[in-house]
Structure 1
Amino acid sequence: MENLIDIGLNLMHPSFRKNRESIIEDAIDEGVSKFIITGTNVKASQIACEYASNYPGTLYSTSGVHPHDAKTCDDNTLLELEKIAKNDCVIAIGECGLDYNRDFSPRDVQRKWFEKQVELAENLDMPLFLHEREAHKDLYDILKKHEDVCEKSVVHCFTGTKQEAQNYIDLGCCIGVTGWICDMERGSALQDAVSVIPTNKLMIETDAPFLIPKNFDKKPKSNKNEPKYLPHILKTIAHYKNDYDVEKLAKEVTKTTKDFFKI
């Protein structure tokens, strides 16, 4: 199988603290060759950058503030994110966006700091790594004001409907699909939506240690997701894309990802 790329890995999560190297080694053994570590606030982005810089060509990272943490932003935030983003291993601004599912930050604060990060990506000419939960219209409306950025945006961990996927694609965005698609209870909308996502707009990710696939024939001993399960997610996506050829899908989504992030 084509060497896969996990575009969303929370490698610095405390649950991976004792075995980060083996997590990556196990995934490489399963055919995953590159990994993007998600930055979710200034401190986390800096830590991810420092770790990724030790593994050039294998690990990359992002620089951004997750909507949950938007309430922590201040006048220095954008300057700090920009400084981090100038490191060679940092390949996108994010994870940024809107989350109306939990509302850990007030919605007006989320919108304010999301748009500022969109503008930062615009100014730095960098891709955007987006987060959206139950906030499609507002995220769409903000992106629509920055159409040049849309072609360089990927909606990470997409969980929406077929129409929402089509709306993002029409803007020019790419779509990231996780093991959410493997969940028969929560994943039905996504299972339907992948049929409209062309492979030149599709990327794959684990969001590990979260969202472990729920459709393994034999349940893993641990409930912790790992990047080694990315091929399983790919096969599930292929199934819901009308039994798309798995090898062909692997090749095409890997090309999409390499071209998008220039890695």
Structure 2
Amino acid sequence: MIWCDIGVNLFSNQFDQDRAEVLERAAQAGIGQLLLIGSDIDESKQNVIFCRQHSGCFSSAGVHPHQAAKVQQDWLLQLSALLNETEVVAIGECGLDFNRDFSPRPQQQAVFAEQLQLASLTNKPVYLHERDAFDTQLAMLHEQPPAKGVAHCFTGDISQLKAWLDLDLYIGITGWLCDERRGAALRDAVAYIPPDRLLLETDAPYLLPRNLAPKPASRRNEPAFLPAIAAMVAQLRQTDITQLAQQQWQNCRRLFNTLPDDVLQRSLSHG
């Protein structure tokens, strides 16, 4: 089985001491493709450089709502240039976060709207963040519907799931599903995700799956732990895990327009 992890914050400082080893462990665990998350322009550029040097790695490029208040005057020009890079397969992480409000809400909405417009102009999928801002974000997506995209780290209920699916979005599932303390609504909803809309992600180094045994002493999540999330998804959906792996790989390739299976396998074997 070969997996695609569509959400890795590889340039988190939690990986500063062993980034190469993290990739090696991911490969040993059957993770054939990694999507690095760009949360601002600088991180997106850093991701692109890294992806050029490592087969099977791709990146998003964008501005997270936490960073919306910090954008430079020419941020949109810089982002547009990044989208021309072969390694960049999505716009984001972008969206709204009304939980922490690290950026003023009007600024979040303005930066998000610009990225939605850019997605329409470039036909790139959007990599969406939403926290405690569902109604506002849904309204904005209805105003500027993306041609394609993924609800990154979906943690909502069945009604929210339906709203995202009605927009033809893919659904990214993380280790939140494995948390018995707070994942009940998500566990109820996951069975309703169409097979061709399901994607898996670790959001590493965050959201360590609680079904992992033994747990790492660092309590840090990493791509090698994606199979623990997949096992829980397969159990809840009563799906054969091999079929899940094949479907998830196809979904990842379809959404992000990454390399065909045979080409990617050759690149990984020689990377």
Rounded to whole Å, the distance in 1 between the matches of 2:49 and 2:159 is 39
Partner of 1:167: 163
Q: Which amino acid aligns with 1:30?
A: A
Q: How far off its partner does 1:216 sit?
A: 2.1
Runs of 4+ residues over 4 Å off in structure 1:
none
The C-alpha deviation readout for 1:199-223, integer Å capped at 9, x for no partner, is 1111000000011001224222220
TM-score norm. by structure 2 comes to 0.92
Q: State whether structure 2 residue 256 is matched by structure 1 residue 257.
A: no
Q: How far off its partner does 1:116 sit?
A: 0.5
Structure 2 residue corresponding to 1:125, chosen from 85, 110, 123: 123
SS at 2:166 equivalent: helix
Gaps of 5+ in 2: 259-271
Rounded to whole Å, the distance in 2 between the matches of 1:64 and 1:107 is 17
Rounded to whole Å, the distance in 2 between the matches of 1:216 and 1:204 is 16
Rounded to whole Å, the distance in 2 between the matches of 1:216 and 1:231 is 10
Structure 1 residue corresponding to 2:136, chosen from 135, 138, 150: 138
Which deviates the most, 176-185 or 216-225? 216-225
Report sequence identity in percent: 38
Q: State whether structure 2 residue 240 is matched by structure 1 residue 245.
A: yes
Structure 2 residue corresponding to 1:204, chosen from 174, 191, 200: 200
Q: State whether structure 2 residue 57 is matched by structure 1 residue 59.
A: yes
Structure 1 residue corresponding to 2:218, chosen from 218, 222, 226: 222
Rounded to whole Å, the distance in 2 between the matches of 1:217 and 1:144 is 42
The C-alpha deviation readout for 1:38-82, integer Å capped at 9, x for no partner, is 0001111111111111124x1111110000011112431110111
Q: How far off its partner does 1:158 sit?
A: 0.7
Q: How does 1:225-236 map to 2 (within 5 A)?
A: 225-236=221-232
Structure 2 residue corresponding to 1:71, chosen from 69, 72, 85: 69
Rounded to whole Å, the distance in 2 between the matches of 1:53 and 1:219 is 32
Q: State whether structure 2 residue 92 is matched by structure 1 residue 97.
A: no
Rounded to whole Å, the distance in 1 between the matches of 2:242 and 2:50 is 31
How many pairs are equivalent? 258
Gaps of 5+ in 1: none
Q: State whether structure 2 residue 22 is matched by structure 1 residue 23.
A: yes
SS at 1:52 equivalent: helix
Rounded to whole Å, the distance in 2 between the matches of 1:63 and 1:155 is 15
Let me know the Cα RMSD of the aligned residues: 1.1
Partner of 1:14: 13
